[in-house]
Structure 1
Amino acid sequence: MHLLLLLTSLGLLVAASDSSSQHKPFDCGTDTSHASDDYLKTVQALHDNKNSGSPAARAAIAARDQAAASTGSISIDTVFHIVAKADSKSTVTNNMPSAQLSALNTAYKPYNIHFNLINGTYNTLNLYFQTDLSGGVLGRCTLPSAIANGKSDPTIYANDGCNINANTMPSGALQGYNSGMTAVHETGHWLGLLHMFEGYSCDGPGDYIDDTPAESTATDGCPGDPIHNYMDYSVDSCYQGFTELQVARMRSMWGLYRDGN
């Protein structure tokens, strides 16, 4: 994979802000305010189990049913971009991208989803690891959206991907969050998942998935269930997996929006 080459050829670009090695509450910059209307209609249709309405809703149901009948492997091409200021690039060591790839594959392996480190298109996962990520979050990611048949601005390709604090990579400087689980969480967004506390209410649709508990607040640290779910907030050591319907949702969104585009 020529990881040393990745660190140099992908560009050590300039960003701004302060990195800290101290424990901070997990925060992620991805929510429904960043979602397209098409995405919101799709998750609503999947949640309501209605095979009617817009073409997008009907396509979502068809994709879900096809995904439910399939257990085949999903292989996702992935690109790591290391973004750092000159005086902070030394915080990202040469072995951290390899360890991060391993953390992603270990987390998603039980669900038959695999990541390959290369270059590619809209079905390629672009991860931008920034040593000085702005905005006070550990990461933010684009949710999938329709791009075919002129429905969307082609710049969606250029903007697609995840921005992640590089200090969350395995052996990074951010204590409590340096086992690579932030990239796992953000990749869940890229594959179509929302936070379980979406809407910050115990009523309403939440993340539009029936087997995840509704939450009025995000968790912090490792207080107890349901912090083990990758789409809640917790320290890395508490994360354990996705629910069955979260996996089905990722597969549906992959087939509907990203595969082949």
Structure 2
Amino acid sequence: MLPKLTLVALGLSSLASASLTRSARPLTRCGAPEPSREQIKAAAALLPDRKTGEGKGFRAEPVTVATYFHVVSSSEDEEDGNISDEAIADQLQVMNDDYRDSGFSFFHADTTRTVDPDWATNSLDPSTDMDMKGSLRQGSYADLNIYLLKGLITNDGKNVLGRCYFPMSQPRDEDVVLDGCSVLAATVPGGSMERYNLGKTVSHEVGHWMGLYHTFHDGCDGGDGISDTPAQASPTEGCPPRRDSCPNHKGLDPIHNFMDYSDDVCLTEFTPLQM
């Protein structure tokens, strides 16, 4: 698992809820921006063994990550995104279960609650994103901030389940502010987002925060830079058995990998070199 904390230590310092499941808007599991050349170069320099398979991934001394949850809703009602403390505790448990073998664990540092209809449904707008995170973000660049929102809608009208920023080698002040993961509140365990309500969206997005790419990054002849994730041409829809989108490459598609787009029930693992 690419260690965000190590990056820092090395000087690498609309609408959701039940109605969204019936929405006609196109749905995208992840809205993470494409990693920059600088981010790809930093990852390759730190973990060259991942490409060759000669190493065993990154298994540092155990690290506990301070995790701040920010619930941003359009009203104080649960259906408007104001999820319960119990739901947050359940989400944290899913994160710790999914990352158990990575050397990373997460502890609940704080929860903030904000009622702001604009922030709750329009945070993919760059100015709104900066405004919200500039007001709410806590901790250092090594700490994880998760923004649980009523809705995430792109400029082209797509619903997004989550978005997280990749680690930067030399983060500017604005990079530190924007750092963290924005996630649809309806995707937490027990949420109203059918097929995506077991908490795996947060686990997927935190993978980006740690520096992992999608398993289908750059298609069959590109890849995520990790040698033990099989080649994959495109994101998985649902949980299709024995999918093989790159038949000229070894291995079936990694449909159970947290960094794919499969349904939550299908996502169960990282590979050893991702860890």
Partner of 1:256: none
Partner of 1:93: 84
1:17 to 15, 34, 40: 15
Pairs within 5 Å for 1:200-211? 201-204=219-222, 206-211=223-228
State the distance in 1 between where 2:175 and 2:169 align: 9
- Matched residue SS, 2:74: coil
Q: Is the 8 A contact 1:47 1:208 kept in 2?
A: no
Q: Is the 8 A contact 1:96 1:171 kept in 2?
A: yes
Pairs within 5 Å for 1:117-196? 117-118=108-109, 119-135=138-154, 136-147=159-170, 152-196=171-215
Partner of 2:72: 83
- Matched residue SS, 1:244: coil
- Matched residue SS, 2:235: coil
State the distance in 1 between where 2:48 and 2:103 align: 26
State the distance in 1 between where 2:264 and 2:195 align: 6
The structure-2 alpha-carbon separation of the partners of 1:46 and 1:203, relative to structure 1 and needing over 3 Å to count, comes to farther
- Matched residue SS, 1:193: coil
Q: Which runs of 5+ in 2 are unaligned?
A: 1-13, 110-137, 242-252
**1:138 is matched by which residue type in structure 2?**
L
- After superposition, the C-alpha distances for 1:55-104 in whole angstroms (9 at most, x for unaligned) are xxxxxxxxx98975x55212111100111111643662331111111111
Instruction: Report % sequence identity.
Output: 37
TM-score of the pair, normalised by structure 2: 0.69
- Matched residue SS, 2:211: coil
Number of aligned residue pairs: give it: 210
State the distance in 1 between where 2:102 and 2:16 align: 36
- Matched residue SS, 1:137: strand
Q: Is the 8 A contact 1:228 1:241 kept in 2?
A: yes
- Matched residue SS, 1:95: helix
Q: Is the 8 A contact 1:91 1:172 kept in 2?
A: no
State the distance in 1 between where 2:173 and 2:161 align: 27
Once structures 1 and 2 are overlaid, which stretch shifts more, 85-94 or 227-236? 85-94
Partner of 1:241: 269
Q: Is the 8 A contact 1:129 1:164 kept in 2?
A: yes
State the distance in 2 between where 1:36 and 1:217 align: 20
Mapped pair 1:27 → 2:55: no
**1:197 is matched by which residue type in structure 2?**
F
State the distance in 2 between where 1:83 and 1:98 align: 17
TM-score of the pair, normalised by structure 1: 0.72
1:21 is displaced (CA, Å) by 3.2
Partner of 1:109: 100
